[in-house]
Amino acid sequence: MLTRDFLMNADCKTAFGSIEESLLWTPEQRSASLAATLACRPDLSPVWIFGYGSLMWNPAFEFDESAPGTLVGWHRAFCLRLTAGRGTASRPGRMLALKEGGRTTGLAYRLPEAQLEDELTLVWKREMITGCYLPTWCRLELDDGRTVNALVFIMDPRHPLYEADTCPQTIAPLIAAASGPLGTNAQYLFSLEVELKKHGMHDDCLDELVSQVRAWLQKPQEEGGCFQAGFA
């Protein structure tokens, strides 16, 4: 699991596995992206980050408050080809992102203003290793009735690792087989399923995918085949 200490000390060239040099962002690129994002900050109200994947169960940054909320206009999709972290170039998996349309429930985190840049620098090191997301300010509806400005990491469809085909039949075997230095791709998916249930949330997009990945993971026992799930 990613920890705060791991992120602070990680060398992005090696810590997450082998990342193609042309895709890897430099610290300077990440810093410029963060500065540009903060320059577009809508107002001086508190900065929130919207977690819809692993940020829900493992944020690894400091925050003053968390609250469930709903992002309108975007939905979860495993549309990012995963070649590091929980996958490899030779056996890529799929990572979660957001695509246009629908709605997404998740957790919002209010960051401490005094440590804002330090915490966001850590977030950028985690999320923007290859610049695959578009950090976007969105209006987020919290369950308690508040509406806040939140930073949301949305998939950049122009990125080389973007994959348009997110049908469960296509991506289930990839997720079931992929693993890397941070664990297995399937563990990520199942952790998301558990976290959503924990907060009383539901995502129709995940149901069939979870079912098919579990089916793929059962194939060696049921068929005596050579499928490897990669739980190393």
d(CA 55, CA 95): 13
Annotated active-site residue in 119, 127, 163, 195: 127
- Tokens 């992002």 label which residue? 71
Answer for the pair 48, 148: CB distance below 8 angstroms, yes or no: yes
DSSP per position, 107-145: EEEEPPGGGHHHHHHHHHHHH-SS--EEEEEEEEEETTS
230's torsion region: left (phi>0), alpha (psi -120 to 50) or beta? left
Helix (H/G/I), strand (E/B), else coil: 4: helix
Is residue 127 flagged as an active site residue? yes
Provide CB contacts within 8 A for 137, sequence distance 6+. 37, 40, 41, 42, 149, 150, 151, 152
The catalytic residues are 127
